[in-house]
Amino acid sequence: MPTTDPTLTFRPATRDDLPAIVALLANDPLGAQRENHVLPLPRSYEDAFAAIDRDPNNELVVVDTPEHRVAGVLQLTRIPHITYQGGWRAQIEGVRVASALRSSGIGRQLFLWAIERARAAGCHLVQLTSDKARPDAIRFYEGLGFRASHEGMKLHLDRPVRD
């Protein structure tokens, strides 16, 4: 297993990191459409952070560099399943690296850290989804060894369901 860069610090996000995390999530074309980065932050972000923070199977993780606090973020969720003989899997969501630091290797290091964390927790696989409008992200994930082995679908519950 490749080791991570010793100049990077991977740590659980704190409540004080929340504005920086939302700013990262909002800083791309898709995130700008769905996030609400205003100060003070909407209560929904506080509530979500509190729920993640108290759930032992969820981790909201940030990476700091010597020059940049909250240089990146991801959420790692461990999920028990009946399939794979009662195996656990890890889901990675909400991945962002500060725009000025993209292509610097921080995203790769963040993923290597998360994959090792999932392995250490006994997960048998790591899964993620990526919007098809993000071809660069998809190439990045493929470069880490992820494969589009399944067709993923989502149903937004705030929209009408077709008859």
Q: What is the pLDDT along the chain (163 residues), one digit of tens a residue?
A: 455 678 899 999 999 999 999 999 999 888 888 898 899 999 999 999 999 999 999 999 999 998 989 999 999 999 999 999 999 999 999 999 998 888 889 999 999 999 999 999 999 999 999 888 888 899 999 999 999 998 888 888 987 777 6
Kindly list the strands in the beta sheet with 72-80, ordered across the sheet, starting from the edge strand earlier in the chain: 9-12, 58-64, 72-80, 88-97, 123-128
What is the predicted pLDDT for the residue at 131? 87
For the chain, give every domain's residue range. 9-143
Domain 9-143 belongs to what topology?
Aminopeptidase (3.40.630)
Long-range contacts of 26-35 (CB under 8 A, 24+ apart): 27/96, 27/98, 27/99, 28/96, 28/99, 29/133, 30/131, 30/133, 30/134, 31/96
Structure pTM? 0.88
Q: Which amino acid is it at 141?
A: Y
Instruction: Give the orientation angle of helix 43-54 with respect to helix 18-26, to 10 degrees.
Output: 110
Q: What's the pLDDT at 7?
A: 86
